[in-house]
Chain A
Amino acid sequence: MIAKLRLWATYLKVALSSILYNRLIYAISVGTIAISLLILGAFVLLSVNVRDWIQGWGQTLSISVYLKDGIDEGTRERIRTAVSTLQGAEIKGFISKEKALQDMKGMLGSQAGLLDGLTWNPLPASFEVAFKNVDRAKFEPKRIKEALEKVAGVDEVQYSEQWLDQFEGLLYVLKIAGFALGGLLCVAVLFIITNTIKLAIYSRRNEIEIYKLVGATDWYVKAPLLIEGALQGALGALIALVILSAVHLVLSFKAVQVFGLPFLEFVFLSSSYALGILFLGLVLGLLGSFIAIGRFFKF
């Protein structure tokens, strides 16, 4: 057991010494792996966040009831009553035409001057309604929309599920694109690692011959090469995660709000996803080494 540990320490020493000796080749290889896994990680991060946003919105079903211009107080109150009688509905607020314009200016920020030329306010007043404790399966926003649009003074009703449907479609596209891109990137990483290890074998073929000559086992020759591949993959993945986390840190300071929906929180990958990427790098590294070694030695 101790002899085996001693041998593994030697394998690690040989691998590290080879990495140091061929440091430029390894640096390029690790950098390329890091970029590939960074792209993959960014896709995973985006998918995870979009999924979370959709789930978050799904839990707070909401509708916006837009009112016709120029309706009187009585009509507005009748609409309020009609909305309040809907099961689970809670009016979160009334947004007047002025408030809607003000919000729009706020969203436009430095571009708010574009609205200065308006001679009239085109934005409608609205009731923002949230539905709580409703069974999502039984919730029929389309029916509510149709019923409310028949109430006098109501111009249009929009519900968040319209957006959800579109975003779920986007998530599906993201997933498919992620799988395709992920597959391609994994193949690219494998190719890079295989070639780096092949270069290492070429540059060390005399050394390998001498190892065999002095009675080294096949494993003694192969183990350092496998370690080199695994280290490359894991290091590339680690760098990718560090860059991804830095990018996330910058982006997370900017809260995003879309179409009056709740604020979007930009979360980082959970530890299981991060470990998954690290493990993927490690496995690709080992696999790349296996392929390279297999071309030179029989396992």
Chain B
Amino acid sequence: MIQLFHVSKIFGPTVALKDIDLRIRTGEFVFVTGPSGAGKTTLLRLIFGAEPPTEGQILINGINLSRISGTKLHLLRRKIGFVFQDFKLLSRRTVFQNVALALEVTGEKGSVVRKKTHQMLRAVALAPKEEAYPIELSGGEQQRVAIARAMINDPLILLADEPTGNLDPEITREIMVLFRSINLRGTTVVIATHNRELLRNTDQRIILLHKGKALE
């Protein structure tokens, strides 16, 4: 469960988010949309704990982010997967190493890391390319690597910021199918997008951000 109580975020003179009250239930699939600068990315970053809100409280599964110590925040982040428009893959690491990284940072055993990484790469249909470097992959493949990395720790929540922004419509459909299957396994999925096509054919909940305010 993600809960936001009267959350505002102000950057200097700019009000990015204003008095947001929001509940996203466990296992829900939610789109956050709005024009550029509406505060979509800021909202996801606040939920991820990358930024503190200027005002208000954020609770993730009952844990108040403003009360959590910096050293514990990384533990919470392991339960939140994050996928970006620009994939954020390590160019010097192979597909396998990029995905394995999320497990390695937890100090997991090498054999467990290898087994789970192979499983995850099979799940996103990238097993044949595990030794390839990101630069050798298409945009859709890179995004699947990023999703595999975000999912390998079995997160409770998957946040995706414009995950299809750099992809063509065919690949976008493939990626959305992947998100849907992740959600069906019980993971809460929150996707920030301004892709109208994506929203037109969905029956999922849509949160519209406009001038920092949230509208359902």
Contact = CB atoms under 8 A, between A and B. Distances in A.
B88 A209 contact: yes
B107 A216 contact: no
A4 B105 contact: no
A13 to B, nearest CB: 9
B162 to A, nearest CB: 16
B31 interface: no
A216 B92 contact: no
Interface string B81-96: 0100000111010000
B107 A214 contact: no
Nearest to A217: B74
Contacts of B102: 214-215
A42 to B, nearest CB: 40
A216 B88 contact: no
B107 A213 contact: no
A215 B74 contact: yes
A210 B101 CA distance: 9
B109 interface: yes
A6 B109 contact: yes
Interface string A218-238: 101000000000000000000
B110 A6 contact: yes
Interface string B174-212: 000000000000000000000000000000000000000
B101 A214 contact: yes
A216 B90 contact: no
B104 interface: yes
Nearest to B75: A215
B82 A216 contact: no
Contacts of B110: 6
A64 B90 CA distance: 78
Given A207-B90, A215-B75, A218-B71, A7 B101 contact: no
Interface in A74-123: none
B185 to A, nearest CB: 20
Interface in B29-62: none
- Residue from B75, B101, B149, B153 having most chain A Cβ neighbours under 10 A: B101
B71 A217 contact: yes
Nearest to A10: B104
A6 B107 contact: yes
Contacts of A17: 92
A3 interface: yes
B128 to A, nearest CB: 24
Contacts of B153: 214-215
Interface of B: 70-71, 74-75, 77-78, 82, 88-90, 92, 101-102, 104-107, 109-110, 149, 153
Given A212-B74, A212-B77, A215-B102, 16 more contacts: A6-B107, A7-B107, A17-B92, A21-B92, A210-B89, A210-B90, A213-B77, A213-B88, A214-B77, A214-B101, A214-B102, A214-B153, A215-B74, A216-B74, A216-B105, A217-B71
Closest 8 A/B residue pairs (Cβ):
A215-B78, A216-B105, A214-B102, A215-B77, A3-B107, A7-B107, A215-B74, A217-B74
